[in-house]
Structure 1
C-alpha cells in the first residue's frame, strides 16, 4: 500500500464498488467507527464494517436498491500529522432503485486514518448526503 492515506481511501471505495466486504474490512483498523445516513446511523467496534455492510444489504433488499457505486472527486483535504490522517472528498453515488438509475450528488466522504506499521488504515468514516437523488422522473418521497 502507498504511503499516501488517500490510496487507502481509494482502496476502500474500490472494494465497496465491488461489494467486497472482506476487502473493505481489510482496509480498516480495529476498532472502526462508521457514521452514515442509514439507520441506526452509527457502527463501531472490531466488526463495524461488516455490521454496517450487513445493514446496507438488508436496507437494499427492503427498498429495492442495488448496484451501489461511489465516485470520489479530488479531495478537499488530505492532512497528515505523524501517524494520523484526515481526508475529506466530495463524492457522488449511483445505484438502481426499483429498476431505475439514481444519482446522489453533492455528498462528502470524510475519513480518519491511522498508520499501522507501513500501511494506512481507516479508523472512522462518515458519509454526508448531498441533495436529493436525481432520477429520470422525480425522486421518490422517501429519498
Structure 2
C-alpha cells in the first residue's frame, strides 16, 4: 500500500502542475469589414489585446502560383507577465465555405509585459476567393512564461515603545 501511495503522489502532483502551465485558447467570430485593408476590432482576453488586423489580398507570384496574401495582426500584452502568443485566422464566405486559413506567432522569445508586436498570418496557397469574405474567426493562444517569484509582504514597523 505504501508503495502505491509513493508512486501515486508524484503522478498526481505532475498532473496538477501541468494543468497550471498549459496554454489557454479562445476563439471569436468577427464580420469582415476592413476599410482600406484595415479591420478595427475590440478583442481583449487575459490582458492580451488585438485591436487591428491589416488584410493584404496580395498578388500571385508566377510561375510558382504562390500568393503574397496575408494579414498582419497587432497584439498588445497588457498583462503583468511575459507571454507566448499565437494567433490563427480562418476566413469564410457568406455560405460558410472556408476561403483561407493561417497562423502566426512569436518570432523569437516572448511578448514581454507591456509590449506590442505584429504577427503575420500568411495565406500562400488558398487565396483566390478572399475577396468574397463575409466573416472570420480569430483564435488566440496564450501561455504565461517566466518564473513566478515569491515576494513577501512588507511588515509594518512597530511604533517605538514609550518607556
Higher gyration radius (CA): 2
TM-score by length of 2: 0.27
Larger relative helix fraction: 1
